[in-house]
Chains A and B, each alone.
Chain A
Amino acid sequence: MSDTMYKRHDGSDIFMHWFNAVCWLLLLLTGIGLIQNPVIDPLGSGYPAVLRSLVGGGGNLLLLHEALGILWIIGFLVYLIINFKGARFFLAEVFAISPARDMLWMVKKMVLMTLGPKPLKMLGMDPVLPDQGYYNMGQKAFAQASVVGGVVIAVTGVVMFLSDRTFGAAATGMIGWAVTLHFITVGLVFAGLLVHIYMAAISPEERPGFKSMFTGVVPGEYAKHHHRLWFDKVQSDDQQVSE
């Protein structure tokens, strides 16, 4: 049984994940270079000036950032057309929370990952994590932040893109808030992204999950231990099918 591989991602899901990852990286690198005000510059260094001189000026950097942003949005729209079912499944799974189980999982997992099982035992708590479904609460939390944040970033980005193309002077209040929301949302999602990258790519525990982001499948043993509720559901579904 442990040799059986279970399907988790379609080809389009895998493509979208890495397409999004590359877009976000490039958008982040170019976007930070567009902030040049000593009070808000996230790095507080000469980074924007260096990047601007590399691409031939701030105007070119802005164009590059806008082009990447539009490519990112178009990529998402194409994905939604190709795999709407997959996107709907993803959203349903990501936003389905069973509060007691998931909050307990989140608290325990955070303690286990940083301090280990001892503090939990000292408090008289069982260090065993509650069973999780298709996604665990950590994955769900970051996915929710990415979905909501992504929509906010895309909408505010489009508002800024259209600012000097269609909007009149009366719209500047809205454009100013779009700038601010874009900045804050990217910051918050980036904070989550750091944990996501560590958990998925650096921590050895999730190695099979990381591999599945290339192959689309995970071993049964991993599915059983990490996504028990999903594993059980798939098992019973399979039995029904074979009967």
Chain B
Amino acid sequence: MAQQLAMIIDASKCIDCKGCMIACKVANNVPEDQWRNWIKGESGMSRPGKHNGTTKFQPGACMHCDKPTCVEACPTGATYKDEMTGEVVIDESLCIGCGNCIPACPYGARFRNATKRKADKCNYCPERRAQGLLPACVDTCPTKARVFGDINDPDSEAGRLFLKNKEQLTRVAARTETKPNMFYIGDPGPRDWGGEAVTPASMIAMKEAAPFIKGIVGLSGLGVLAMLGRQLIAGSDTDHKENDDV
């Protein structure tokens, strides 16, 4: 079976230290005011006094979905689902930063990198992995709330946690179902903040126009074939004199 790289997160272990966010920013040289990952919390929970329920912080990032709406919004395949690893990859050499994929992510995991002017998001730190290291956020987490690995490999830590907790794994719901590969063990706190995947009007127009364009080119081709057929069957010399001699 092909790999599916994923994160298994235990939100109850997260202490909201923001270490993962900083480590990611440093490792990936993410511009100021832009972030590849996040920790979401319940509002007002850190005030003194009585409050309802337990404290929960929810680490997150690109969820490398099984049904990535961002990929569907990309005209060139610059962002794609890697069949071998299950990652949603951005090919920066092919991306021109048209921005189609950004509103297409219901989790807001994508942004247009202010320096590179291209789509950007979590890529599980491929440079670090190539050196045998874990993604920066996972490596730096002091409480090991984030676990990264191949959930299809039962011998990996992520795969072991995935199998062991199968009954109580949850995902953050969005109004558009994308089958995200970010799993939370038990209660992840706020779990329905995901929005709707929005495809830009220009991309919808291109998708709608595509069959018409094919049709028009097809009609033109048929016209040429009809003319060629007449040229071959009827010949054109007689035709020519008849029509054009004045």
**Chain A residues near B (Cβ < 8 Å):** 34-37, 39-40, 42, 48, 57-62, 110, 112-117, 127-129, 131, 160-161, 163-165, 167-169, 172-173, 175-177, 179-180, 183-184, 187-188, 190-192, 194-195, 198-199, 202-205, 225-226, 228
Q: Is B83 an interface residue (CB 8 A)?
A: no
Q: Report chain B residues within 8 Å CB of A112.
A: 239, 243
Q: Report chain A residues within 8 Å CB of B237.
A: 204
Q: Are A114 and B99 interface neighbours, CB within 8 A?
A: no
Q: Are B221 and A176 interface neighbours, CB within 8 A?
A: no
Q: Report chain B residues within 8 Å CB of A188.
A: 213, 216
Complex Cα distance, B94 from A36, in Å, reads 11
Complex Cα distance, B228 from A203, in Å, reads 8
Complex Cα distance, B235 from A46, in Å, reads 39
Q: Are B75 and A37 interface neighbours, CB within 8 A?
A: yes
Q: Are A173 and B202 interface neighbours, CB within 8 A?
A: yes
- Write 23 A-B pairs (CB below 8 A) sorted by A numbering: A37-B72, A39-B72, A58-B91, A59-B93, A59-B94, A116-B234, A160-B96, A164-B118, A165-B117, A172-B100, A172-B102, A172-B200, A179-B206, A180-B205, A180-B209, A183-B210, A184-B209, A187-B213, A187-B216, A191-B213, A199-B227, A204-B237, A205-B236
**Chain B residues near A (Cβ < 8 Å):** 72, 74-78, 91-100, 102, 111-112, 114, 116-118, 200-203, 205-207, 209-210, 213-214, 216-217, 219-221, 223-224, 226-228, 230-231, 234, 236-237, 239-240, 242-246
Q: Are B116 and A164 interface neighbours, CB within 8 A?
A: yes
Complex Cα distance, B223 from A57, in Å, reads 37
Q: Are B244 and A176 interface neighbours, CB within 8 A?
A: no
Q: Report chain B residues within 8 Å CB of A194.
A: 217, 220-221, 223-224
Q: Are A168 and B117 interface neighbours, CB within 8 A?
A: yes
Q: Report chain B residues within 8 Å CB of A169.
A: 99, 111-112, 114
Q: Report chain A residues within 8 Å CB of B239.
A: 112, 116-117
